[in-house]
Structure 1
Amino acid sequence: MRNYEKINAFTFAAIVALGGFVFGLDAAVISGTIKYITQEFLLNDWEVGFVVSAPGLGVLPALPLAGYLSNRFGRKKALQLVALVYLISAVCSTFAPNYASLVVARFLGGMAFCSLSLAAMYIGEIAPPKWRGKLVSVNQINIVIGLLAAYFINYLIIQAVGSDALWIDSWGMKEQTWRWMLGSEILPALLWFILLFFIPESPSWLVLTNNIEAAKATLKKIYPDNEVDNQIIDMQENLSKTEQNQSIWIQFKEILGKPMRLTLIIGVTIALVQQLTGINAVLFYAPTVFEQLGVGTDAAFVQAIWVGLTGLLFTVLAIFLIDKIGRRPMVIWGLLWIIISLSICSYGFKAATYKLSTEDVSQLSDIKNKHVLNSLADKEFESDTVFKDKIILLLGEDEAKIHSSSIIQKAAKLNIGLILFGILSFIAAFHFSIGPVLWVLFSEIFPISLRSIAIPSFAFLTSISSYLVQLFFPWQLANMGVAYIFLSYALFGLVGLAILIKYLPETKNMSIEQIQNVLSKKTNKNVK
């Protein structure tokens, strides 16, 4: 591949993957707003979970619709529509007048989360096989850059609000802190929408719609001229195996049929295990998670930045190594690494104790009726949930939510270093393995004729498991405790590991057509 074609391939992939940045920013920026939204709208645990997870619910109806739109109007137009939805959601979230309108605006933004599956589809179809792993992974690196940007933005806003600068008051940042955080998404969403007008249509979709000359014109931008005709022939042969104009129901039946059984097992397993290991509980509730360490609110925002930096570092490392190490080793060893990391977190929180002294209570100057906490003085609690229940009983639910961070900071006796190591190790393992590899595999294991239905369908499983993780986390935190939450995530990872060890093949450096042949042979061998 000459530099011209290589530059074009990376440029088109980078533009499409900018949606990953917007997704990451949208997903993580909410983590900094939870405390402020909770206080302003007087939310309970379920309401907090619902506003955080609303995008995860919104993406569910959008994914099948995205498949239809990308097949009917093309990948490019579908991506442009998604970018516009992101922009509208960002504006509406920023200026939401009440809790209900905020939930609706975030639900709308969730409908744009299908950008991840559309981006994987587009990049997988436009990328030459030798670069596919890196180019699809660009989407993942943009996600973690977006996450990191969100944590930095939240931290900077928190620091600005705590300063005495006159412009802070004149801009209304102290009273509208969470709106400034959510508003940070508007400009990136607008930029992505504009840049999408400069990418070509997917050559695979053009062949699917029998627009061969246009497909050749696109392929000449990313392949040497002498390889273009062979690429067209490969795509046509792949499409000839299945009727091009078959109904969605027929395509679903084919996905569920025996020839696709192994692909189904792999897709379902990795789609579920990616989210059920709890990544979005940590990312979307990062400051809340770190407050359980007793480090205080400001320090919790700093630790969230470390989450973003760790994710970025190991995503970059994964992109450089994915086409060298291969997909299977990164998934298998990465999942083992995830399980060990989650187990460390679980052990660290399980060994924690919570104890307030009389001096600790006297130092809680922000609590008006702090004297009621004297009844807890010198009593040791081995469960964070029992300790929090006592605080709620004494202070009331609303006051307990406002001051829980400062109380835990005084009371928690735990190995902060061990738990922080476990959390950052988990973040590193996820972003080095199933984080980027899921989208690479989704872009590779489905035939062209089915991918507009298959990729959104399997992304649907990822999204619904992500939604449930986000929705239940506040309730789990209040009722299960952090130790058992991390243990449950580790157990999900263990089940996924056992399945993928048996069924996941290696797909690096193969064309989509070659991958279909490998999966077909392996299906005949392993699935009766």
Structure 2
Amino acid sequence: MSARARFGYRFALLGGVAFGYDLALVGGLLPTLATTLALDGVEKGFVVSAAKGGAVIGAFVGAAAMRCFGRVRSAAVLSACTLPFGSLMCALSADASQVGLAFGRAVVGVGVGALAVIVPAYCGEIADDLNRGHVVACYELSVCMGMILANVSTWFEPSETYKLVLGSPLVIGFWCFVGFMTCPESPRWCVRAGDSERAKESLRALEEPGSNIETLVSTIENEEQRATSSSERNVSFWQALVDTTHGGWREAMNGEERRAVNLILCLAWFNQMSASTSIINYSSRILNEISTTTTTTTTTSGIAMENIYSGLIVAFKTLGVLISIHLVDSFGRRPLLLYGNAFSAFGLSIAGLGFGMTSLPLTLVGLCTFIFAFSCSSASVFWVLVSEFFSMRVKSAAAALVTATLFFAGFISDLIFAPMLNAFHAGTFAFNALWCVAATIFVYFYIPETRRKTFRDIQRVLRNGDVDDEDFAPVYQSVNGSRGIEFANIRTHTITDEDSTPAQSHRVQNAIINE
């Protein structure tokens, strides 16, 4: 394994486990917390969604920090500060105040949101072009590992151990700090910060012995020559926070990378409004409602089986991510998104049918199908695209905006899921399935393939609409036998001949967002 892959996997493992563990922890404890604090449906949604509310803020904080202090130092310090403090707040408030519990969850969410921006950025910058998708997708696998760990931690007498479990992210924060600090800084950030010597030091740790470090630094400098005069050097954190908060919106509305920003913003909404994390957080509640409807009693063995079924859903999520990691660099980002969203809608439809019929097996099959399909596609591919779509010039601001949007959509989804389940029952799953259908249509028309393309090629496609025959799955037609092929853009049906000049054959007028 190369040094680039080793450090990328380490960063992804630590950040992903912290992400998955902290977000999923409350799901298994929700029945105990609901009894202890007498929570109704809306209050359950408030407690569950608080972490994602904090993550919205954390996304901007993380982006500003990684701009000023670098990827490694920011990840280490933020995880070491937010996770322990927030987890202690949760543990101390668990039997006293739902507001205190929600506030502690929000503080933990700040750390989660920061890591969600920093980790994909770091992994995308240090991984080589051929394996970049594989490394970044491993981040989502680590999220699954964190969710499994959280699920298992709630199996053992949660009514007795829930305070200890709520305080356990303190340990995660400590190991994140230690692990992150052993990784070299991103050479690209060092170059952008004007620290060529540190960039060389990082490259020595990342490259094979005998590599021409001077040439590599020069290459990075040439690739980043589009950077504006206001470099990342000597910028205060508060100024960076203001720039990050406003910069993403400016880029989304008027910047030359607005196309990339708007595409990812839409994917973020589709990602979370499908109830991808809400299903994980509320799986015990869903299965418990079916069990109590069919048996009219709740037993210890029944609760244990519900926990096992919830663990089975997380296991299918892990299996889906493993398959995604294998396919993301060979099968491609775009096909995974297309097929994955379509099968996600199918799985939610089955789950809704089973829930309406109060059939536990059918509901469980539907939920597992949905989670598996979603994890094969959007769960991993979204973070891969976030790491690929933006240049270094706007990466901090744009990644912060789209990650904050992802968590805000997740906050809304978690907040409304329980009340919707009470009010609409099986219709809740139909509502989420429609988001998956909409995502499939959106990907078909607007998302290009980025597999095995350099950052420069990806950004050229997104800025200028320069596409090749793989970018938008064009319609192929033979042209006079050996003359080659024509291809049609699937949105505008503009036909161009590959025998024309490169500028003519690859320039397609794409009607994408805000164009």
Cα displacement string for residues 81-123 of structure 1 (whole angstroms, at most 9, x for unaligned residues): 2211112212221222432221111110111112112100111
Look up the match of 1:292.
289
Distance in 1 (CA, whole Å) between partners of 2:214 and 2:287 is 55
Deviation at 1:251, TM superposition (A): 6.0
The residue correspondences of 1:255-404 to structure 2 (distance < 5 A) are: 255-257=252-254, 259-294=256-291, 296-350=302-356, 352=357
Deviation at 1:258, TM superposition (A): 6.3
Relative to the length of structure 2, the TM-score reads: 0.82
The verdict on how the C-alpha distance between 1:250 and 1:420 changes in structure 2, with shifts beyond 3 A counting, is: closer
Look up the match of 1:242.
227
2:175 is the alignment partner of 1:179: no
The verdict on how the C-alpha distance between 1:345 and 1:250 changes in structure 2, with shifts beyond 3 A counting, is: closer
| Paired residues of 2:12 and 2:138 also in contact (CA < 8 A) | no
The residue correspondences of 1:178-217 to structure 2 (distance < 5 A) are: 178-217=162-201
Look up the match of 2:238.
none
Look up the match of 2:374.
430
Look up the match of 2:128.
128
Greater radius of gyration (CA): 1
Distance in 2 (CA, whole Å) between partners of 1:280 and 1:317 is 19
Deviation at 1:422, TM superposition (A): 0.9
Look up the match of 2:490.
none
Look up the match of 2:157.
157
Look up the match of 2:441.
498
Larger helix percent: 1
| Paired residues of 1:238 and 1:447 also in contact (CA < 8 A) | no
| Paired residues of 1:129 and 1:509 also in contact (CA < 8 A) | yes
Deviation at 1:14, TM superposition (A): 1.6
The verdict on how the C-alpha distance between 1:41 and 1:254 changes in structure 2, with shifts beyond 3 A counting, is: closer
Deviation at 1:344, TM superposition (A): 1.3
- Matching residue within 375, 378, 387 for 1:443: 387
Distance in 1 (CA, whole Å) between partners of 2:225 and 2:29 is 51
Deviation at 1:51, TM superposition (A): 1.0
Q: Percent identity?
A: 23
Cα displacement string for residues 134-190 of structure 1 (whole angstroms, at most 9, x for unaligned residues): 1111211110011111111212335xxxxxxxxxxxxxxx5x432133233332222
Please report the RMSD computed on the Cα atoms of aligned residues, expressed in angstroms.
2.0
The verdict on how the C-alpha distance between 1:250 and 1:26 changes in structure 2, with shifts beyond 3 A counting, is: closer
Look up the match of 2:102.
103
SS of the equivalent of 1:240 reads coil
| Paired residues of 1:21 and 1:145 also in contact (CA < 8 A) | yes
Distance in 2 (CA, whole Å) between partners of 1:71 and 1:10 is 24
Distance in 1 (CA, whole Å) between partners of 2:262 and 2:431 is 22
Deviation at 1:228, TM superposition (A): 4.3
Look up the match of 2:398.
454
Letter paired with 1:105? G
Deviation at 1:250, TM superposition (A): 5.4
2:463 is the alignment partner of 1:517: no
Unaligned 5+ runs, structure 1: 159-173, 353-413
Letter paired with 2:260? T
Look up the match of 1:406.
none
The verdict on how the C-alpha distance between 1:429 and 1:244 changes in structure 2, with shifts beyond 3 A counting, is: farther
The verdict on how the C-alpha distance between 1:334 and 1:501 changes in structure 2, with shifts beyond 3 A counting, is: same
Distance in 2 (CA, whole Å) between partners of 1:258 and 1:75 is 24
SS of the equivalent of 2:329 reads helix
SS of the equivalent of 2:313 reads helix
**Greater relative contact order (Cα < 8 A, sep 6+):** 1
SS of the equivalent of 1:155 reads coil
Letter paired with 1:265? N
| Paired residues of 2:349 and 2:430 also in contact (CA < 8 A) | yes
Letter paired with 2:376? F
2:4 is the alignment partner of 1:19: no
Look up the match of 1:94.
91
The verdict on how the C-alpha distance between 1:258 and 1:41 changes in structure 2, with shifts beyond 3 A counting, is: closer
Relative to the length of structure 1, the TM-score reads: 0.80
SS of the equivalent of 2:155 reads helix
SS of the equivalent of 1:448 reads coil
Distance in 2 (CA, whole Å) between partners of 1:251 and 1:42 is 41
Bigger Cα displacement from structure 2, 13-22 vs 438-447: 13-22
Distance in 1 (CA, whole Å) between partners of 2:183 and 2:263 is 31
Look up the match of 1:169.
none
| Paired residues of 2:10 and 2:179 also in contact (CA < 8 A) | no
Distance in 2 (CA, whole Å) between partners of 1:326 and 1:244 is 36
SS of the equivalent of 2:450 reads coil
Deviation at 1:461, TM superposition (A): 0.9
Letter paired with 1:214? R
- Matching residue within 46, 56, 60 for 2:56: 60
2:28 is the alignment partner of 1:32: yes
| Paired residues of 1:262 and 1:503 also in contact (CA < 8 A) | no
The verdict on how the C-alpha distance between 1:509 and 1:230 changes in structure 2, with shifts beyond 3 A counting, is: farther
Letter paired with 2:267? I
Deviation at 1:454, TM superposition (A): 0.7
Distance in 2 (CA, whole Å) between partners of 1:61 and 1:133 is 27
Distance in 1 (CA, whole Å) between partners of 2:83 and 2:374 is 26
The verdict on how the C-alpha distance between 1:145 and 1:499 changes in structure 2, with shifts beyond 3 A counting, is: same
Letter paired with 1:89? G
Deviation at 1:290, TM superposition (A): 1.5
Cα displacement string for residues 51-90 of structure 1 (whole angstroms, at most 9, x for unaligned residues): 1111111112222222111111111121012211112212
| Paired residues of 2:263 and 2:446 also in contact (CA < 8 A) | yes
Letter paired with 1:332? L
Distance in 1 (CA, whole Å) between partners of 2:212 and 2:449 is 25
Letter paired with 1:232? V
Deviation at 1:417, TM superposition (A): 2.3
The verdict on how the C-alpha distance between 1:93 and 1:274 changes in structure 2, with shifts beyond 3 A counting, is: same
Cα displacement string for residues 447-489 of structure 1 (whole angstroms, at most 9, x for unaligned residues): 11110111111011100010011111221122121x1111000
The verdict on how the C-alpha distance between 1:302 and 1:446 changes in structure 2, with shifts beyond 3 A counting, is: same
| Paired residues of 2:55 and 2:110 also in contact (CA < 8 A) | yes
Letter paired with 1:307? I
Distance in 1 (CA, whole Å) between partners of 2:122 and 2:3 is 17
SS of the equivalent of 1:43 reads coil
Q: How many residues align?
A: 445
| Paired residues of 1:260 and 1:520 also in contact (CA < 8 A) | yes
SS of the equivalent of 1:293 reads helix
Deviation at 1:30, TM superposition (A): 0.5
Deviation at 1:419, TM superposition (A): 1.8
Distance in 2 (CA, whole Å) between partners of 1:181 and 1:25 is 11
Cα displacement string for residues 190-238 of structure 1 (whole angstroms, at most 9, x for unaligned residues): 2112222211111111011111121122123223454644543443234
The verdict on how the C-alpha distance between 1:231 and 1:515 changes in structure 2, with shifts beyond 3 A counting, is: farther
| Paired residues of 2:65 and 2:74 also in contact (CA < 8 A) | yes
SS of the equivalent of 1:59 reads helix
Distance in 2 (CA, whole Å) between partners of 1:195 and 1:48 is 34
